[in-house]
Structure 1
Amino acid sequence: MSVSLVGTFVKPVHREGPKFIAGFALVTVLLWLLWEPLGVLGLLLTVWCYYFFRDPDRTVPMDEGLIVSPADGVVSLIEPAVPPAELDLGAAPLMRVSVFMSVFDCHVNRAPVAGDVTEVAYRPGKFLSAELDKASEENERNGLVLTMADGTRIGVVQIAGLVARRILCEVDTGAMLDRGDRFGIIRFGSRLDVYLPEGTAPRVSVGQKMISGESVLAVLGDDRPATARTE
């Protein structure tokens, strides 16, 4: 098997992954000793666990003013919404783009823009399906504010979902992130909300597939609506 083919299927894993993968593997061995078909099922679940925690490198676009997706997944909501109060982004609605991550998506989260982390705020909550609009208000969440060099502030909120029970944010206030830098992970199935600054319109549509650190959500200062996509 060629190196390039191996690289297609074998990816690095997030540091949270090995303990879970080991646990799934141990259960698989026990199931295999009990009954081989159960062992096969355990093996498939172990492979899925490895796949869930994969952390592949990404090619981050470098053009000025781009806002990239912080998560792999599908754009599930695009609508004006008041940002969470703990982020101190004001009481006026901002355009919110939500990216829903299924249990088959890579769950490593990346910074949508380069900037200083000026707010990190965790709030406990419920575990409703992350696809629901009210998940932004009622679910467990962790929010960040990235302040760019020109003072523009962008809010990014990690939201736990129906299956997710753990939000991990790996940066603190005062950290400096480049566009596409990793800042956390959520397990297992969740959503990321991005609050765009006033005067910036999304360049994506509901249902569009996103790749974290690569797919462009918006261009700063561009308020033109996204054009319709053809399937």
Structure 2
Amino acid sequence: MTLHKEGYTIIAGATLLLLILNAAIQHFMPTIEWLHLLFLAISVIFLILIIQFFRVPKRVVTTDETRIVAPCDGKVVVIEEVVESEYFKGPRRQISIFMSPLNVHVNWNPISGIVQYFKYHPGLYLVAWHPKSSTDNERTTTVIRTAQGQEILFRQIAGAVARRIRWYIKEGDAVQQSTQMGFIKFGSRVDIFVPLDAKINVNLNDKTVGSVTVLAELPA
């Protein structure tokens, strides 16, 4: 396991702040030892939580052009037919994955191909499970076209706590399935839109492992 580059500044800043606070407590309240120990314990737990949030686990992945893998860790909270209005402007099957603050927050490309479309949308910060978060929250929209001409759309969506989305792709890029495409800080969700004739391999409340879990299979 390694630490993601998005966490370097935050981890360093949090460490410095906690050191200063602990030093200040010992300086101004030198005789209250139980308070020193309590604040030290709280500081260590807090720092561990921040570090684990930016962890990047090592995973064994296999690529398959007919399979759509989960772009993130989390829990499947939506599987339904919808009308996707931004790019396809027609019916698609939507699979939504909620990412809690305890999940790995790296985002991966769900399939190999060319980035046909990419757009960043500023917006609100509704809770990630709110029905309008997919269209009203800060988000990115990415469409990858496979070598067979299939197009898969997915969105990084900020939530009430997650207020910073990062992406490492742009239109025209050739991307490989299960490689990093971005990061969402401190909890949110990702929506994936697949063709109606794709075979769905997950159920509601299933836990997903980003870059590994097969969400759906494209028709031949």
TM-score (norm 1): 0.86
**Unpaired stretches in structure 2, ≥5 consecutive residues:** 26-34
Runs of 4+ residues over 4 Å off in structure 1: none
Q: Secondary structure at the match of 2:200?
A: coil
State the partner residue of 2:15. 25
Q: Secondary structure at the match of 2:80?
A: strand
2:213 is equivalent to residue 205 of structure 1: no
C-alpha spacing 1:201/1:134, structure 2 compared with 1 (3 Å): farther
Which amino acid in 1 is paired with 2:91? P
Separation in 1 of the partners of 2:40 and 2:13? 14
Separation in 1 of the partners of 2:84 and 2:122? 16
Which amino acid in 2 is paired with 1:120? F
Are the equivalent residues in 2 in contact too, given 1:70–1:212 (CA < 8 A)?
A: yes
Once the two structures are superposed, residues 164-206 of structure 1 have per-residue CA deviations (whole angstroms, 9 ceiling, x without a partner) of 1101011111111111010000011000000002311321011
Once the two structures are superposed, residues 28-52 of structure 1 have per-residue CA deviations (whole angstroms, 9 ceiling, x without a partner) of 2123221522232122111111100
Q: Secondary structure at the match of 1:97?
A: strand
**Unpaired stretches in structure 1, ≥5 consecutive residues:** 1-10, 223-231
State the partner residue of 2:45. 44
Which amino acid in 2 is paired with 1:50? I
State the partner residue of 1:66. 67
* Structure whose CA Rg is larger: 2
Separation in 1 of the partners of 2:58 and 2:170? 23
Separation in 1 of the partners of 2:204 and 2:77? 5
Aligned-residue CA RMSD (Å): 1.4
Shift of 1:83: 2.3
Shift of 1:213: 0.3
State the partner residue of 1:153. 151
Are the equivalent residues in 2 in contact too, given 1:25–1:43 (CA < 8 A)?
A: no
Q: How does 1:98-113 map to 2 (within 5 A)?
A: 98-113=96-111
State the partner residue of 1:182. 180
Are the equivalent residues in 2 in contact too, given 1:123–1:140 (CA < 8 A)?
A: yes
Are the equivalent residues in 1 in contact too, given 2:165–2:185 (CA < 8 A)?
A: yes
Are the equivalent residues in 1 in contact too, given 2:121–2:140 (CA < 8 A)?
A: yes
Once the two structures are superposed, residues 131-190 of structure 1 have per-residue CA deviations (whole angstroms, 9 ceiling, x without a partner) of 222211111110100000011100010000110110101111111111101000001100
Q: Which has the higher strand share?
A: 2
Separation in 1 of the partners of 2:168 and 2:218? 26
Of 145, 168, 171, 1:170 maps to 168
Q: What is the percentage of aligned positions where both structures have the same residue?
A: 35
Equivalent pairs, count: 209
Separation in 2 of the partners of 1:41 and 1:84? 46
State the partner residue of 2:5. 15
TM-score (norm 2): 0.91
